[in-house]
Structure 1
Amino acid sequence: MNSARSWVVFAGAAFAYLVGVMQRTSFGVAGVDATDRFEVNAAAISVVAVVQIVVYAVLQIPVGVLADRFGAPPLIIVGAVTMAVGQGLLALSGGIGFALVARVLVGAGDALTFVSVIRLLPGWFEGRILPQLSQWVGMTGQLGQIVSAFPFALMLHLQGWTPAFLLAAAAGLLAAGLGLATLRRGADRVTTAEIRTIEPSELGLRASFGRPGTQLGFWAHLLAGTVPTMLGILWGYPFLTAGLGYDPGTASGVFVLMVVGTFVSGPIVGLLVARHPLRRSDLVLAITWGVYAIWAVVLLWQPQPPIWLVALLFLGVGVCGPASLVGLDVARSSNPRHAYGSATGIANTGGFVGGFIGMLLVGVVLDIVDEVRVAQGAASDLYSLDGFRIAFLSAYLIAIVGTVGLLWKRAHTRRRMYEESGIVIAPLWVALISARGKKRPPRVRE
């Protein structure tokens, strides 16, 4: 545990996830190009991206179960190969049907990767470093978004569609080769106490899903993960280039600030989670609604928000990435070791369920707004800034639902903690006042 070999395994797994994120987000960078290449509208492009995420979300739970049973390394390697095949098919696609099949393959391969990487870690590491490693995996993976925003985008604009996506396919094969060389299944040690407490009713997927902590992890991931999914996978880059009119270089620079936000905040969020495990849901709520407040200012600013404000938004969206990973830590810590994979898979569907609903709604609303504009005698402008202003309101509906779900399941989780361990968690404002009072120096009477 925590040996030099452990870090070699971590490096191979993190690189596979880096390439996976690059494959996942590459279609978003190419969204406007895809509209022209396949001669379709915004709703059709959003359907392609949504199908990819639906496949990803649907496979999360089966992948978690498979990772618990067969180990993570083979799933990571198969995932890298599957994404490479999908990107190769997309490179050669001339119609929207083939593009849809290609993104299904990318979604399936992507689904095999992240949960398997997270499931791999407890076999090689232990102690307080585990929740921080989850953040480090997320940070490393976000380098893939930099690859999408800069080298891939540059390749796309200079060399064209086919060379860019063939290069992405080659990266998937490289990740598979490194995985074969470095990844091994660790020792899933189970304590005697855990063996004694396992009952037949506590085994299986239904038991994992039935634990309030698993459900709390799902809602936390949905709340924090929806916006990074929507903007990172599909609508962020078109919003910058077509909606705000930024040139590709400027758009890539702003887009990559999501990665900067992840890198800056990831270690801080991991440290806060390790030190204050009973306040994880409060952390998710504070980060997410802080970002939604910034987004509201961006959408309301007339006639066009300044670039520094847009940059601040994308930086904040990057912070939502580590916040969404808190949900996975909640699910993991609420389950016995034998159910880590399935619990993580259940929680990890949250942000992608919110994301694909949001992506689809944005595409539909953009089409409706453009149709209304044309009906009123104006020229068609599918990706107008006003259209994005209206379409992005759908994310707030999802955030409200996610907040209600989080508060609901947090109450259940805290009730279970009290019944099983006698732990009482005071409201956040009470804890803050108590902490402030403890820091006051004692008064000395003259």
Structure 2
Amino acid sequence: MDKQKSRFRWIVLASVLFTYLLMSSQRTAPGLITDQVMLDLNVTASTVGLLIGVQFFVYTCLQIPMGILADRFGPNFFLIIGAILTGLGTIIYSLSTHEFILFFSRILTGIGDATIWVNLVLILSRWFNEKEFTRLIGVAGMTGSFGFLLATVPFSALIALLGWRAAFFSAGLLICLCGILLYFVLLKRQKQILLNESVFEKKGIQHEKTLVLLRRIFSSRQAWALLFCHFGIVGGYIGFIGSWAVPYGMDMYGMTRINASQLIMISLIGALIGAPLIGWISSRLGAIKLPYVFFHIIMLLCWSIFLIFNGHPPFYLLTVLFFIIGFAFGSNSLTFAVVRQSFPAKESGIVSGFANTGGFLSAVLLPSIFGNVLDHFLSASGSLGDGYYYGFITPVIFSMIGLIGVIFIKEKRLKGNP
């Protein structure tokens, strides 16, 4: 039976995306209980800051190794193990009594989280044809945004109802159960109904030496273009929206923390709409590069507007900018549509990991750079306004890097289009 014509592929899609939804929620959920963790475990704010960052650091470092492993041994096993590790890490986090256990739990969660996207991309690329994949990769991006949304009001309500330990324990247990579900869907049930596994997953196949493969990928202009375009589109959104958006609203507009948090919600809504819609547009056009260039330009213009208004655009324009930035961020999934189109299937895992490293590297760098700029101007002149103004130069530069990367992408038209 052909995988890409099997009805079973929709069960695979639903199972993988539901697992991704829950796993992605645990990237930001600990931020909801920062004060409670500090109080209950007697840890400092700096420790909590390191605790939040360690998961993203582990995630970023493991993207290329995970891509190599997924290409060599197939994505199914690693996605199952990743879900279970994420679930176990979340459960251990809920039981933590010491900061060492907190760090161990977040490292374990980071290892599990590092498996999800690369393996998800590979699984969808094997079960769906090129046009379906271009649409569905946008749906996958939307699912990640839903995960972030799940980690706001809904998970806060669960914490208020059960307490933070019981809420995180329940989430971890559910993610572990998803890992068991994936075992039955991706391994046990699949073997019963499908006979033609991908040729490079069969035993006895000769694989290229890892160093030779890495040397070729690192010398590929297309791979670097994908890394840079993902660097530019992801960093501004996750790096700023996820760290400095709320302080910015409070400092520059006098908003309460709750009202400033609504800026993040506006941006999330933009991403939820943008990801599937941009994937659909790309599929209809039969082109990836054209819409991707367009949304990189839109992202660059949005960040530039902050500079034009000295870091303080009118409030009505601010809300529009946050929505558009989120919407344009939804185009980031097109990076992986280009990966599928440009590289052999046996290399798509490592190239996906390579490109994804660029995105999360920028998400790690931008908050730190932005914070250092704020600290400099606050200590030099006492002006947060100047700090935010010059801070916005960073996402502008990141967006320029992304635009240069996407311009250098080479593209073939999608199959089924003239």
TM-score normalised per structure 2: 0.80
CA distance in 1, matches of 2:309, 2:170: 35
Paired residue for 1:125, among 117, 123, 128? 128
Q: Which residue of 1 is the match for residue 203 of structure 2?
A: none
Contact 2:86 2:113 in 1 (8 A): yes
Mapped pair 1:69 → 2:72 = yes
Residue identity matched to 1:397: T
Q: State which structure, 1 or 2, has the greater radius of gyration over its C-alpha atoms.
A: 1
Secondary structure of residue in 1 paired with 2:151: helix
Once the two structures are superposed, the pairs formed by residues 361-380 of structure 1 within 5 Å of their partners are 361-364=369-372
Look up the equivalent residue of 2:24 and give its one-letter code: V
In the alignment, structure 1 residue 60 sits paired with structure 2 residue 43: no
Which stretch of structure 1 is more off in the superposition, 9-18 or 316-325?
Answer: 316-325
Structure 1 residue 34, shift from structure 2 partner: 5.3
Q: CA RMSD in A?
A: 3.7
> What's the CA shift string for 1:23-75, capped at 9, x where partnerless?
1121334456556665534x554433332212111111111111112221221
Is contact 1:63–1:115 with CA below 8 Å preserved after alignment? yes
Q: Does 1:403 align with 2:400?
A: yes
Identical columns (%):
25
Choose from 86, 90, 96 the match for 2:89. 86
CA separation of 1:387/1:9 partners in 2, compared to 1, >3 Å: closer, same or farther? Answer: farther
The 2-side partners of 1:19 and 1:147 are apart by 8
Equivalents in 1 of 2:223, 2:280: separation in Å? 21
1:183 is aligned, of 173, 181, 186, to 186
Equivalent residue number for residue 349 of structure 2: 341
Deviation digits for residues 200-258 of structure 1 (CA, Å, limit 9, x no counterpart): 99972332332211111111111000123224554445656788665676455443333
Match of 1:205 in 2: 214
Query: 1:301-340 to 2 correspondence within 5 Å?
Result: 301=312, 306=315, 308-340=316-348
Is the alpha carbon distance of 1:395 and 1:232 closer, same or farther for their aligned partners in structure 2, counting shifts above 3 Å? same
Aligned mate of 2:44, from 36, 40, 43: 40
Quote the offset at 1:271 in angstroms. Answer: 3.1
CA–CA separation in structure 1 for the residues paired with 2:389 and 2:155: 26
Match for residue 300 of structure 1?
Answer: 311
Are the structure 2 counterparts of residues 51 and 73 from structure 1 closer, same or farther at C-alpha, using a change threshold of 3 Å? same
Displacement, 1:91? 2.5
Partners of 1:58 and 1:349 within 8 A in 2: yes
Find the counterpart in structure 2 of residue 288 from structure 1: 299
How far apart in 1 are the matches of 2:231 and 2:148?
Answer: 20
CA contact (8 A) 1:47 1:360 kept: no
Gaps of 5+ in 1: 192-197, 377-385, 424-446
User: Equivalent residue for 1:225?
Assistant: 234
**1:382 match:** none
Q: Deviations over 1:399-426 (max 9, x none)?
A: 4156246526844x55xx8xxx9x9xxx
Q: Do residues 262 (structure 1) and 271 (structure 2) align? A: yes
Cα shift at 1:313 = 3.6
Measure the CA separation in 2 of the matches of 1:121 and 1:318: 24
Note if contact 1:64-1:341 (Cα within 8 Å) is conserved in structure 2: yes
Structure 2 gap ranges (5+): 201-206, 414-418
Q: Distance in 2 between matches of 1:226 and 1:392?
A: 18
Letter in 1 for 2:229: A
Q: How many residues align?
A: 395
1-structure distance, mates of 2:331, 2:35: 29
* Partner Cα separation in structure 2 for residue 237 and residue 93 of structure 1: 28
The offset of 1:5, in angstroms, is: 0.6
Q: Please, which moves more after superposition, 140-149 or 340-349? A: 140-149
Q: Distance in 1 between matches of 2:400 and 2:279?
A: 21
Asked if structure 1 preserves the Cα contact closer than 8 Å seen for 2:376 and 2:387, the reply is no
- Kept in 2, the 8 Å contact 1:91–1:165? The answer is yes
1 CA distance for matches of 2:118 and 2:243? Answer: 22
Counterpart of 1:225 in structure 2: which amino acid? V
Structure 1 residues 221 and 278, CA, compared in 2 at 3 Å: closer, same or farther? closer
Task: Answer yes or no: is the 8 Å Cα contact 1:28–1:235 preserved in 2.
Answer: no
Farther off after superposition, 245-254 or 286-295: 245-254
Query: Where does residue 390 of structure 1 map in the other structure?
Result: 387
- Asked if structure 2 preserves the Cα contact closer than 8 Å seen for 1:76 and 1:117, the reply is yes
| Matching residue's letter, 2:300 | W
How far did 1:170 drift?
2.6
Distance 2:398 2:258 in 1: 36
**SS of residue paired to 2:130:** coil
Q: Which amino acid aligns with 2:44?
A: V
- Report the Cα distance in structure 1 between the residues aligned to 2:280 and 2:164, rounded to whole angstroms: 42
Q: What letter is aligned with 1:15?
A: F
Partner of residue 358 from structure 2, selected from 331, 335, 350:
350
**Among candidates 162, 166, 169, match of residue 169 of structure 2:** 166
* Aligned partner of 2:367 among 359, 382, 401: 359
Distance 2:92 2:368 in 1: 23
Equivalent residue in structure 1 for 2:21, among 18, 39, 45: 18
- Which residue of structure 2 lines up, in the alignment, with residue 437 of structure 1? none
Alignment of 1:151 onto 2:162: no
Bigger mean CA offset, 270-279 vs 67-76: 270-279
TM-score by length of 1: 0.75
Contact 2:300 2:400 in 1 (8 A): no
Residue by residue over 1:300-323, the C-alpha shift from the partner in whole angstroms, topping out at 9 and shown as x without a partner, is: 228xx63x4443343233224322
SS in 1 for 2:31: helix
Report if aligned partners of 2:236, 2:363 keep a CA contact under 8 Å in 1.
Answer: yes
1:9 is matched with which residue?
12
Aligned counterparts of 2:84 and 2:211: Cα–Cα separation in 1: 35
**TM-fit CA distance, 1:342:** 0.8
